[in-house]
Amino acid sequence: MTVEQLTAEERDSWLSGLKGWALTREGKAIQRTFEFGDFSEAFSFMTRVAMIAEARDHHPEWFNVYNRVEITLTTHDADGLSRRDVKMARKIDALLA
Protein backbone atom coordinates (compact mmCIF):
# COMPACT_ATOMS: atom_id res chain seq x y z
CA MET A 1 0.00 0.00 0.00
CA THR A 2 1.33 3.38 -0.95
CA VAL A 3 1.35 6.05 1.71
CA GLU A 4 0.64 9.53 0.45
CA GLN A 5 3.07 12.31 1.11
CA LEU A 6 1.59 15.38 2.79
CA THR A 7 1.17 18.40 0.57
CA ALA A 8 3.08 21.51 1.65
CA GLU A 9 -0.18 23.01 2.90
CA GLU A 10 -1.14 19.95 4.90
CA ARG A 11 2.38 19.76 6.29
CA ASP A 12 2.38 23.34 7.53
CA SER A 13 -1.10 22.99 8.94
CA TRP A 14 -0.34 19.78 10.88
CA LEU A 15 3.06 21.04 11.99
CA SER A 16 1.62 24.18 13.53
CA GLY A 17 -0.15 21.87 15.98
CA LEU A 18 3.03 20.03 16.93
CA LYS A 19 5.01 21.88 19.56
CA GLY A 20 8.75 21.31 19.54
CA TRP A 21 8.95 19.45 16.25
CA ALA A 22 10.86 21.05 13.40
CA LEU A 23 11.23 20.20 9.75
CA THR A 24 14.52 18.67 8.68
CA ARG A 25 15.97 16.96 5.58
CA GLU A 26 14.53 19.52 3.20
CA GLY A 27 11.06 19.12 4.60
CA LYS A 28 11.06 15.34 4.27
CA ALA A 29 11.22 14.64 8.01
CA ILE A 30 10.42 16.12 11.38
CA GLN A 31 12.69 16.07 14.39
CA ARG A 32 12.42 16.76 18.08
CA THR A 33 14.91 16.52 20.92
CA PHE A 34 13.75 15.42 24.36
CA GLU A 35 15.71 15.87 27.57
CA PHE A 36 15.24 13.95 30.78
CA GLY A 37 16.73 13.83 34.26
CA ASP A 38 19.04 10.92 33.52
CA PHE A 39 19.58 7.87 31.33
CA SER A 40 17.07 5.75 33.18
CA GLU A 41 14.31 8.25 32.48
CA ALA A 42 15.40 8.71 28.88
CA PHE A 43 15.44 4.98 28.21
CA SER A 44 12.08 4.45 29.90
CA PHE A 45 10.65 6.99 27.48
CA MET A 46 12.36 5.21 24.57
CA THR A 47 10.80 1.93 25.65
CA ARG A 48 7.33 3.45 25.53
CA VAL A 49 8.05 4.99 22.13
CA ALA A 50 9.30 1.59 20.91
CA MET A 51 6.00 0.00 21.85
CA ILE A 52 4.05 2.67 20.00
CA ALA A 53 6.33 2.26 16.99
CA GLU A 54 5.92 -1.50 16.94
CA ALA A 55 2.15 -1.33 17.35
CA ARG A 56 1.86 1.12 14.45
CA ASP A 57 4.58 -0.56 12.38
CA HIS A 58 6.13 2.87 11.98
CA HIS A 59 9.62 3.20 13.38
CA PRO A 60 11.65 6.25 14.32
CA GLU A 61 15.24 7.03 13.50
CA TRP A 62 16.63 8.01 16.84
CA PHE A 63 19.76 8.88 18.70
CA ASN A 64 20.36 8.78 22.43
CA VAL A 65 23.19 9.89 24.63
CA TYR A 66 22.64 9.80 28.38
CA ASN A 67 19.55 11.95 29.12
CA ARG A 68 18.98 13.20 25.56
CA VAL A 69 16.81 11.53 22.91
CA GLU A 70 16.64 12.90 19.39
CA ILE A 71 13.79 11.50 17.31
CA THR A 72 13.42 11.83 13.54
CA LEU A 73 10.24 10.76 11.81
CA THR A 74 9.79 10.23 8.10
CA THR A 75 7.85 7.85 5.88
CA HIS A 76 10.14 5.97 3.53
CA ASP A 77 7.20 4.66 1.47
CA ALA A 78 6.10 8.24 0.84
CA ASP A 79 9.64 9.56 0.33
CA GLY A 80 8.79 12.30 2.82
CA LEU A 81 6.30 13.18 5.50
CA SER A 82 2.94 11.48 5.72
CA ARG A 83 0.06 11.51 8.18
CA ARG A 84 1.69 8.53 9.86
CA ASP A 85 4.50 10.81 11.05
CA VAL A 86 2.13 13.42 12.42
CA LYS A 87 0.08 10.80 14.25
CA MET A 88 3.22 9.22 15.62
CA ALA A 89 4.55 12.60 16.82
CA ARG A 90 1.27 13.20 18.63
CA LYS A 91 1.42 9.79 20.30
CA ILE A 92 4.98 10.47 21.43
CA ASP A 93 4.08 13.90 22.76
CA ALA A 94 1.12 12.40 24.61
CA LEU A 95 3.54 10.27 26.64
CA LEU A 96 4.88 13.46 28.20
CA ALA A 97 1.61 15.31 28.61
Applying CB under 8 A, the residues found at the interface with a second copy are 39-40, 43, 46-47, 50, 53-54, 59-66
The CB density around residue 48, as the number of other CB atoms within 10 Å, is 14
Q: In this complex, which beta carbon is closest to a second copy, that of residue 10 or of residue 28?
A: 28
Please, are residues 86 and 79 in contact by the beta-carbon 8 Å criterion? no
Q: In this complex, which beta carbon is closest to a second copy, that of residue 22 or of residue 76?
A: 76
Whole-angstrom Cα distance, residue 60 to residue 62? Answer: 6
Least distance from a second copy to the Cβ atom of residue 13, Å: 27
Q: In this complex, which beta carbon is closest to a second copy, that of residue 5 or of residue 67?
A: 67
Please, are residues 23 and 85 in contact by the beta-carbon 8 Å criterion? no
